[in-house]
Structure 1
């Protein structure tokens, strides 16, 4: 498998709120477009090679198969958002409200700035069993960050939800869904959407203002 490109690594950002335009190698860029437009199973290797402008053997030189391309995109995307969330948590400090708010903002910003990559999460079902298990473990780490922030907020009395685990899971699902409807030419900027979702998320966990 080819080395993961810079846009798909956890350590490439200097500011977790700032995004440069997404740049992917041609194979990954065209695969992402096709997977989003047509779905993983409807995209053939032959069609992908035609889109890229290479022969099928040339494509196989870089990636063993179509599954390897999906793995590169899905794991790279999740690795990137996890890296940004870890940075956001480190900057937020110990206050549960600050940590929770930073995580929600970070996830929503990723869902908007990297919407096609984030939308590809729906193709998790297309991963082979071993790959799916590894991917789910990484997703669990992201959910765990939110769950811990909610639980700490309940412990300190700033969050009043009686179901912190379910609340954290629901908030994450709500944030991830942004990638399904966000459009760059829409009326709200990513920053404004993130701001609104922080407000909604704090209400969802029963924040004592």
Structure 2
């Protein structure tokens, strides 16, 4: 198994600037209206949720909710924008802290993706399932965020192949498979389940390395 640092606690709206702090997750501090929308969307789906239900969950009147967010669509967009901003920042910090070797950057971005989709699983789940519900005006922005995250993985895998760290003949496909594996965790992982977070990350890092054809002897002396 790969050696992992145990995750601690933190605040989702506090940018992880200290070394390793991108691993830290605590209770989400979404604004009350967005937290209420998240709970309702995760339970009933976007189209199965009414503005009245969100307002009730937020302990607000409907006009009071509209004072903060003028529509149900604006709630979905606000929620997904915060989700992607957090995800992208954590990934960027993890890669930057990993150093110059592609294999170290790869391990870091995979771990970051896995942790996010475990500890922010409801946000990730709504982001994956409700893209179909986004208005066209914001959908392009959201897709560009997702593409940016995928490009991080792509670039590292291609660099790893060039450096001789990875042997896959299909770097683009392998990078996509790795990202898909990480995102899929949000559909089934439970923090109180039989498999602990760090153990799951270690297992999936090994699987991710296998997908890109990691060569353990690449840097052997």
**CA separation in 2, counterparts of 1:208 and 1:165?**
18
Deviation, structure 1 residue 13: 5.5
- CA change 1:12–1:154 in 2 (3 A) is closer
| Structure 2 partner of 1:151 | 158
Report the TM-score when normalising by structure 1.
0.93
Please give the root-mean-square deviation of Cα atoms over the aligned residues, in Å: 1.4
Rounded Cα–Cα distance in structure 2 between residues aligned with 1:103 and 1:200: 14
TM-score (ref. length: structure 2): 0.88
Q: Helix, strand or coil for the counterpart of 2:130?
A: helix
Deviation of 1:99 (Å): 0.5
Q: Is the 8 A contact 2:12 2:25 kept in 1?
A: no
The answer to whether structure 1 residue 77 and structure 2 residue 83 are counterparts is yes
Q: Which has the higher helix share?
A: 1
**Residue in structure 2 matched with residue 123 of structure 1 by the alignment:** 130
Q: What CA distance in whole angstroms lies between the structure 2 residues aligned with 1:115 and 1:68? A: 21
Q: Is the 8 A contact 1:161 1:206 kept in 2?
A: yes
> How many residue pairs were aligned?
203
**Distance in 2, Cα, partners of 1:142 & 1:91:** 17
Q: Which runs of 5+ in 1 are unaligned?
A: 1-5
Q: Report the Cα distance in structure 2 between the residues aligned to 1:183 and 1:156, rounded to whole angstroms.
A: 37
CA contact (8 A) 2:32 2:58 kept: yes
Map of 2:52 onto structure 1: 46
Residue 107 (structure 2) pairs with residue 101 (structure 1)? yes
